[in-house]
Amino acid sequence: MVAGLYGAAGPQRVSFDLEPAEVRWRLRRQGADVEIAIYRFPDMSTSWDTPDAEGTRCWNSTQPRAVLSHAVVEAAETVLRLHGEAGYRKKWIEHSFPVAALDGLRQLHRRNDECRHENCQVSTDS
Ligand SMILES: [Zn+2]
C-alpha cells in the first residue's frame, strides 16, 4: 500500500475492520509529500464499496513521504517485535503479517529517502 507511493499509482487505500465499523486510510501523493486522510464508516458490511466522501473524515495531515514511510516501517517493526510473526498470525488469523510488503517498502524508503536509521537497514528474513 505505502510502497505504491513510490510509483505513479493513484491514491492508496487500506481498511481496518473494527466490527462493525470500518476505518479507512487514504494516502495520496502530492509531489514529495503524502496526504493522509482517515475516514470512519459505521458499518463495514455496507461501507466497503462506499466512496470516501460518505464517511466521516476524522483526521488528515500532509507529511513528507520519507517521514511517513519511516513511521510505517517503525510501527510495523514494533508490532513484529512485540508479537512475533507467529503471534501476529494468531491474533489476526486471516491476515498474516505482510512481511514481503514491509521489506519492499523498507527497500524503497532506504533507496529513495536515504534513511540511515537501524530499523531501515535490517531485513526481516535475516
Ligand atoms: Zn527510515
Give the strand order in the sheet containing 21-30. Answer: 12-18, 21-30, 33-41, 56-64
Question: What parts of the chain have a pLDDT lower than 50?
Answer: 93-94, 124-126
Contact partners, residue 26, CB within 8 Å, separation at least 6: 11, 12, 13, 36, 37, 38, 39, 52
Which pLDDT does position 85 carry in this prediction? 67
What pLDDT does residue 122 have? Answer: 65
* Ligand 1 center–CA 106 separation, angstroms: 8
- Cα-to-centroid distance, 40 and ligand 1 (Å): 29
CA 106 – CA 73 distance, rounded (Å): 7
Using CA atoms, how far apart are residues 32 and 10, in angstroms rounded to an integer? 14
A 10 A CB-CB count for 70 gives 20
pLDDT for 126 equals 40
pLDDT of 125: 46
- Tell me, what's the pLDDT at 43? 92
- Residue 17 CA, ligand 1 centroid: distance in Å: 28
State which residues have CB under 5 angstroms from ligand 1, the bound ion: 70, 115, 117, 120
